[in-house]
Amino acid sequence: MHAAVNAAIANAFVRRGFTLCTSAISPLCVGCAFTPPRGARNRTVELRQQPCVFVVRMDSARAPDLASSPPRPGRSDLGGYAWLARLADKARAEQAGTAGDYVAYCPISVGFLVRAGVPREEFDALVRSGATDDELVAYFDAHVSPEHKAAANRFVLVTMKEHLDEQDAEESAAR
């Protein structure tokens, strides 16, 4: 019975242009087998079965299309973290298949995460779960010490300054 109802709900969302998400499979998950197609704009729906109830969640964070416009600049401040906005844009786009030539976990991104003390796998899972910018900042604020925050910002803004200058020059024309 639940499988038939679930299939009907899933098909209704797919007909409206949504993609079913398998990013958070759990024992309660209905087990949908759809994944976002390459180039999808992160219009995802996650269906989870609870006793006689279906919960539908739409991702609130949208993946940018980095093939047509660049991510936010590396110096953009998001909750007091340099690079976090750019990393979020690139990771969302990579997961949605819209990263173009951008690589989410480039050496600066990896260096930023290492200095912040946030494992790449955890950040990737946060993005995959549909975390908004505010939710990413809340996670970082709860898990990153002031010393690690300062070290991550220093790495991006001081150590990688020349690289950021090059990025700014290349991408300013595309904005």
Mean pLDDT of 122-141: 91
Q: What is the pTM of this model?
A: 0.66
Using a 10 angstrom Cβ sphere, with 0-12 exposed, 13-18 middle and 19 or more buried, the burial of residue 42 is: buried
| Pairwise CA distance, residues 147 & 114, whole Å | 13
| Pairwise CA distance, residues 105 & 150, whole Å | 20
Q: What's the pLDDT score for residue 61?
A: 65
Look-up: residue for tokens 């539908």?
56
Q: Which residue has the higher pLDDT, 35 or 139?
A: 139
Tell me the CA distances in angstroms from 21 to 57, 70, 90, one per residue in order: 10, 26, 19
What is the band of 8 on the pLDDT scale with cuts at 50, 70, 90?
low
Mean pLDDT of 150-173: 93
Contact 17, 41 (CB under 8 A): no
Q: What is the pLDDT of residues 45-101, one digit of tens each?
A: 444 443 322 333 334 468 888 988 899 999 999 999 999 999 999 999 998 889 999
